[in-house]
Amino acid sequence: MPFNLSTGELLVFLLVAVVIFGGRLPGVARRVGSTISDFKRGMRDEVRRMENDLINAPAPPPNNWTPPNLADEAATDPPEPCEEDDAEGK
């Protein structure tokens, strides 16, 4: 049973629903079913819209950036001395 309800609990629930809603119970059940169907249809439409957006999205621009090769720079350019290094040497 859904929600771990026993048969007796389910019958009590249905009896209370009949007492509260009386003759309107079929209409209430119909509206609840319609609401659930509308919700499912809306979710399905939203998923389709998102899929179409992904399929029709423009391609991102190519990534032409390459990281600098630090090993080449270190071999060609000696580090410049800092002011602190100059003060210690004097």
Please report whether residue 66 resides in a domain: no
Q: Among the listed ranges 8-12, 18-22, 79-83, which one has the minimum average pLDDT value?
A: 79-83
Please report whether residue 29 resides in a domain: yes
Mean pLDDT of the chain: 81
Residue 58 has pLDDT above 80, yes or no: yes
pLDDT digits (tens, 9 = 90+) for 36-52: 999 999 999 999 999 99
Which structural domain range is residue 40 located in? 2-56
Please report whether residue 86 resides in a domain: no
SS (H, E, C) the chain: CHHHCCHHHHHHHHHHHHHHHHHHHHHHHHHHHHHHHHHHHHHHHHHHHHHHHHHHCCCCCCCCCCCCCHHHHHHHCCCCCCHHHHHHHC
Report the number of distinct structural domains present in the chain: 1
pLDDT digits (tens, 9 = 90+) for 73-87: 555 666 677 776 555
pTM of the model: 0.46
